[in-house]
């Protein structure tokens, strides 16, 4: 199901956690494109796209399908998120990985949303719903 505004508190918490985790663990400006599936700040599976790694659409779809399969026990509370450097503006990686993601979801007969996550925010590539922060920090005494 696409993310629509206004988002739920649960969605806000999960998407914020994904942004924080990426911001805290990825080197500024150098993080590879990575597809994650699961629950941010909890259990998830990932695939890191290595620099200059040649992936066609079929292979990207197979990778997405494998991650969906590995996390199927977390259903229905899992999410997909693609982390990458840059702004939330549309990027080539968003297009090719979104297509692969939703093809894998269709094959598995599941509807698991995919978010694009950068160091400053998140965006749903299907609806354009997004949230950006200028100074996102982990709340003291809280995990998200």
What is the CATH number that goes with domain 9-132?
Answer: 3.40.140
- pLDDT value at residue 51: 85
Write the secondary structure of 9-59 as one string of H (helix), E (strand) and C (coil): HHHHHHHHHHHHHHHHHCCCCCCCCEEEEECCCCCEEEEECCCCCCCCHHH
The tens place of each residue's pLDDT in the chain, 144 residues long, gives: 778 888 889 888 889 999 999 998 887 878 999 999 999 888 899 999 998 888 999 999 999 999 999 998 876 689 999 999 999 999 999 999 999 999 999 999 999 999 999 999 999 999 999 999 877 777 765 544
- pLDDT value at residue 36: 96
Least Cα distance to 65 among 96, 41, 37, 42 occurs for 37
- Domain range summary for the chain, segments of one domain joined by +: 9-132
């Amino acid at each position: 199901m696409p993310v629509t505004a206004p988002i739920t508190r649960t969605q806000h918490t999960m998407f914020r956690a994904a942004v924080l985790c990426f911001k805290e663990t990825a080197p500024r400006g150098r993080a590879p494109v990575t597809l994650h599936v699961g629950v941010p700040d909890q259990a998830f599976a990932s695939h890191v796209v290595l620099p200059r790694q040649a992936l066609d659409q079929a292979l990207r779809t197979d990778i997405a399908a494998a991650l969906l399969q590995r996390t199927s026990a977390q259903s229905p509370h899992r999410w997909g998120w693609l982390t990458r450097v840059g702004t939330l503006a549309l990027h080539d990686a968003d297009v090719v990985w979104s297509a692969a993601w939703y093809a894998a979801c269709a094959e598995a007969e599941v509807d698991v949303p995919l978010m694009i996550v950068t160091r400053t925010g998140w965006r749903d590539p299907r609806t354009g719903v997004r949230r950006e922060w200028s100074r996102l920090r982990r709340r003291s005494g809280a995990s998200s």
